[in-house]
Amino acid sequence: FSMASFSRRLWFFVCLILLPLFALAAFNIYSQYQQAANDLTATGLSIVRAAAQQQQTAVAATEPFLSALAKLPEVRTMDAAGCSALFAQLLKSNPLYVNLGAVDVNGRLFCSGIPSADVVNVNGRVWFRRAMDTGGFAAGEFEIGAVTRKRTINFGYPFSGDDGRMLGVVYASLDIERFSAFAANIKLPPDSTLTILDRQGNVLARYPEPGTWVGRNVKGEPVFRALFGGPLVEGVYEARGLDNVERLYAFTPLDPRAASSPLVAVGFSKQILYQDVSRTAALNLAGLLLITAVVMLIAFYGGRELVMRRVAALQEVDRLKDEFVSLASHQLRTPLTAVRWLNELVASGTAGPLTEMQKQLTEESARSISQLIGLVNELLDIGRLDQGRLQVSAGSADAAELVAETVGEIAPLAVAKFLKIETATSGTPVRVHADPRLVKQIILNLLSNAVKYSPEHGAITVRTSFAPRLVRISVEDRGIGIPAAEQPRIFGRFFRASNVRATQAEGTGLGLALARAFAEAMGGRVGFSSKENTGSTFWLELPAEAS
Ligand code: ADP
């Protein structure tokens, strides 16, 4: 079990749970954007419709108005002074128009609500030509007013004298700048525009900054292409405006019945449009992140707490097991020692002479007893290790001497297997700085393994080499070796390689684990190299005593 991998997995699962939440939030924000855009589109369309409606109403009102003017005596008699005075009066009460006037059949202006110093002729104007040709109400195109010099759309209506002969045309000029006032009145959000464009790409009106834009031709601009690209209908599009601001435009023809009608478009800055949504989105996201952090913290600490509790429970079980092993070993040792003495007593003949058979049997039981005592001792050592009660007395020893003693102790076993044990030393002898009892136990273990796992008639070499700061003892055998795949686990407790379990029933798998623990407790190391069916070399390195 590893805490690190546990937290990794935990984070992963928390993320897995939170991911859909984030997706949901993203979707929510997206639909809010969509909603805002839809709302604004609807607003935009209703504004342009209102603008177009206003224009149509103005045009519709103009026909009866002009028809009434055409019947005025001041017009019919072509009384220039009277007519001009009357028209000036009428302009005041009809703010829809920037000028009212009358021209004769040649297009010469003889009456104008706004006085004109110049001689004005409107012969070429569309509304004039049409009114003359059709003999009825006629609308012109956007033009610069002949008298007012303003952007206007003019309407003409023919008038005649008492004899019914056509004498001229009365006209009214509708001010296109009215749309600016209209836009200002409805209080468009910041960075919004209201634009009227004709089919030739001329800006007829623009709010705000009419001075900068009115009269310009924008045929090449994306806005124009977007507007007039398709059939002339009502619609919405997104484009970069004339002033380089990204906008959402709603547009409609100013006069839906006229194929050549200019368009009126209202544009809302996208930045402004998304500002509110961005704020809510940011709040949403911040909230979600906060939740994420809290959930993660809870998951992490809660999870850890849970695991810790389990770990604590397992640790308790482990402690009880250690305690039991240690107690059981203690309790076993005393009677075992007694059994050994008793067995020795019998074997020595003190209790009476032994037959050859009895001698053999007591020898065998002596071997089993010492094995049992060995096992109990190992278990006791393991117990001491686990409970931190391993006693390491700081001392010093002659390594070569310890090796010689151990070889002596193991000799009977080696002889039984016809094994030759050779010893060799190299370097200038130095004493090891270690607990002699533990060092001997390690050597004994390495050596007894070498004997155990060597075939009969083999050879074992124990080398002691001295370096100024280090003493190295190696035990080399030409035995069964350790399978490569199992080598990494060889120092593990109770681990026995697969090739020895079949052939060697005796063994606990505790010896090497203890050897390593002992060596490390004294500041040393153990290690080995081995090849299956060829042999093994186990070594022990210990610090040399400071000279
Ligand atoms: P035991 O010898 O009681 O099984 P050890 O802890 O001393 O336990 O050794 C663990 C295992 O390491 C052995 O069971 C054996 O598989 C392997 N081993 C140790 N020493 C040798 C050796 N000299 N040659 C081959 N295998 C060895």
Predicted confidence at residue 141, as pLDDT, reads: 76
State the distance from the centre of ligand 1 to the C-alpha of 497, rounded, in angstroms: 7
Cα–Cα distances (Å) from 160 to 67, 76, 135, in that order, read 11, 6, 10
Of 148, 198, 190, 194, the residue nearest 172 (C-alpha) = 148
Report whether pLDDT(210) > 60. Answer: yes
Q: Whose CA is closest to atom 11 on ligand 1?
A: 496
Q: Whose CA is closest to atom 8 on ligand 1?
A: 509
Predicted confidence at residue 161, as pLDDT, reads: 84
**Alpha carbon of residue 292 to chain centroid:** 13
Predicted confidence at residue 1, as pLDDT, reads: 54
Report whether pLDDT(438) > 90. Answer: yes
Average pLDDT for 307-321: 88
Average pLDDT for 284-298: 83
**pLDDT-based confidence at 353, cuts 50/70/90?**
very high
Average pLDDT for 163-181: 83
Report whether pLDDT(255) > 80. Answer: no
Predicted confidence at residue 229, as pLDDT, reads: 66
The string of pLDDT tens digits covering residues 506-529 is: 788 999 999 999 999 999 999 999
State the distance from the centre of ligand 1 to the C-alpha of 372, rounded, in angstroms: 18
Residues with CB under 6 A from ligand 1: 445, 449-450, 453, 477, 479-482, 490, 495-497, 500, 507-513, 536
Rounded to 10 deg, the angle between the 511-521 and 356-386 helix axes is 50
State the distance from the centre of ligand 1 to the C-alpha of 74, rounded, in angstroms: 133
The string of pLDDT tens digits covering residues 123-170 is: 888 888 888 888 888 888 777 777 777 778 889 999 988 888 888 899
Q: Are 466 and 427 in contact (CB under 8 A)?
A: yes
Whole-model pTM above 0.75? no
Give the β-pairing of 420-426 and 459-466. Answer: parallel
Sheet architecture: strand order including 109-112:
109-112, 97-104, 166-175, 151-160, 138-144
- Pocket residue to mutate for ligand 1, from 375, 499, 512, 526, most atoms within 8 A of Cβ: 512
State the distance from the centre of ligand 1 to the C-alpha of 509, rounded, in angstroms: 7
Report whether pLDDT(483) > 90. Answer: yes
Predicted confidence at residue 489, as pLDDT, reads: 94
Q: Residues 145, 228, 53, 181: is their CA dihedral positive or negative?
A: negative
Return the minimum-mean-pLDDT range out of 71-85, 269-283, 336-350: 269-283
- Pocket residue to mutate for ligand 1, from 453, 461, 487, most atoms within 8 A of Cβ: 453
Report whether pLDDT(288) > 90. Answer: no
**Which residue matches tokens 């019998």?**
346
**pLDDT-based confidence at 278, cuts 50/70/90?**
confident
Q: Burial letters for 212-238: b for 16+ Cβ neighbours within 10 Å, e otherwise?
A: ebbeeebeebebbebbbeeebeebbbe
Q: Are 190 and 269 in contact (CB under 8 A)?
A: yes
- Pocket residue to mutate for ligand 1, from 449, 504, 528, most atoms within 8 A of Cβ: 449
- Pocket residue to mutate for ligand 1, from 500, 504, 516, 538, most atoms within 8 A of Cβ: 500
Q: Are 201 and 6 in contact (CB under 8 A)?
A: no
The string of pLDDT tens digits covering residues 444-473 is: 999 999 999 999 999 999 999 999 899 999
**pLDDT-based confidence at 107, cuts 50/70/90?**
confident
Q: Which carries the bigger pLDDT value, residue 385 or residue 180? A: 385
Distance between CA atoms of 103 and 83, rounded to whole angstroms? 11
